[in-house]
């Protein structure tokens, strides 16, 4: 592999970690370790490759998931806030508004105006488990149930 291909592979691992674990408490130092670089080098290289910092990418992924939930599932804004990885409703609402241009409540009202009825939240909760639940996957996500 060339140096550039190696760099892309490192960045891809970190980006995949964000995509898979957006609802967890991720920090830049942890993501830099996944990529195998220093914090500063990781932030610079990630931004150059993807056009936004790792923190901005994580926030955008969380808000995209929140939009999906607000559109299609009958959960409160607070429940959605926690499901996508925010611990503060105020921070969630502020970031949602910064990224989408409207509040979570306004977004929900606008997108549900002519939509089918939302899925009851209890159905989502049956299929969504907290991160780390069950313990049948290793750090890389590989199923280790059958030895």
CA distances from 121 to 73, 105, 131, 138 (A): 6, 16, 18, 29
Question: How do residues 40-53 score in pLDDT, each as one tens digit?
Answer: 999 999 999 999 99
Spatial separation of the C-alpha atoms in residues 16 and 19, rounded to whole Å: 5
Question: How do residues 73-131 score in pLDDT, each as one tens digit?
Answer: 999 999 999 999 999 999 999 999 999 999 999 999 999 888 777 777 776 665 555 55
In a domain, 31, yes or no: yes
- Residue from 137, 146, 58, 59 nearest 100 by CA: 59
Tokens of residue 35, six digits: 């990529």
Q: Domain range for residue 98?
A: 55-129
In a domain, 82, yes or no: yes
Total number of domains constituting the chain: 2
Contacts of 146 (CB under 8 A, 6+ apart): none
Q: For the residues 128-144, what does the mean pLDDT come to? A: 51
Residue 134: pLDDT band (50, 70, 90) is: very low
Tokens of residue 138, six digits: 């290793």
Q: pTM of the prediction? A: 0.77
The domain that holds 118 is classified in CATH as 1.10.10.60
Residues 106 and 64 in one domain: yes
pLDDT reported for residue 115: 74
The domain that holds 46 is classified in CATH as 1.10.10
With the C-alpha atoms ordered 102, 107, 111, 113, is the resulting torsion angle positive or negative? negative
More confident residue, 1 or 76: 76
In a domain, 140, yes or no: no
């Amino acid at each position: 592999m060339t140096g550039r291909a190696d760099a892309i592979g490192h960045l891809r691992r970190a980006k995949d970690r964000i995509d898979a674990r957006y609802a967890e408490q991720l920090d830049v130092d942890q993501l830099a370790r996944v990529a195998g670089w220093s914090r500063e080098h990781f932030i610079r290289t990630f931004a150059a490759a993807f056009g936004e910092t790792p923190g901005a990418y994580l926030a955008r992924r969380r808000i995209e998931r929140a939009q999906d939930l607000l559109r299609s599932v009958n959960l409160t804004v607070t429940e959605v806030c926690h499901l996508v990885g925010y611990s503060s409703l105020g921070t969630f609402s502020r970031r949602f508004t910064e990224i989408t241009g409207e509040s979570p409540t306004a977004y929900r009202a606008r997108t549900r105006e002519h939509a089918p009825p939302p899925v009851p939240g209890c159905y989502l909760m049956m299929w969504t488990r907290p991160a780390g639940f069950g313990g049948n996957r290793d750090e890389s996500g590989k199923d280790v149930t059958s030895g």
